[in-house]
Amino acid sequence: MMQANDVFKRYSRQIFIEEIGVEGQRDIGNAKVLVVGAGGLGSPVIQYLAAAGVGTLAVVDFDDVEIHNLNRQVIHRESTVGQPKTESAADFIRDFNSHITFIPICQKIDRENVQDLIRDYDIVVDGSDNFTTRYIVNDACVVLNKPLVYGSIFAFEGQVTVFNFRGSKNLRDLFPEAPNPEDVPNCDRHGVLGPLPGIVGTMMAMQVLKMITGLPIVINQLTIVDTLNWKFMTITF
pLDDT digits (tens, 9 = 90+) for 89-116: 999 999 999 999 999 999 999 999 999 9
pLDDT digits (tens, 9 = 90+) for 182-191: 656 665 666 8
pLDDT of residue 43: 98
C-beta of residue 80 within 8 angstroms of C-beta of residue 91: yes
Provide the whole-model pTM: 0.94
Select which of 142, 144, 178, 187 is catalytic: 187
Known catalytic residue at 187: yes
pLDDT of residue 3: 67
pLDDT digits (tens, 9 = 90+) for 120-167: 999 999 999 999 999 999 999 999 999 999 999 999 999 999 999 999
Q: Using 50, 70 and 90 to split pLDDT, how confident is the model at 7?
A: confident
pLDDT of residue 1: 57
pLDDT of residue 148: 98
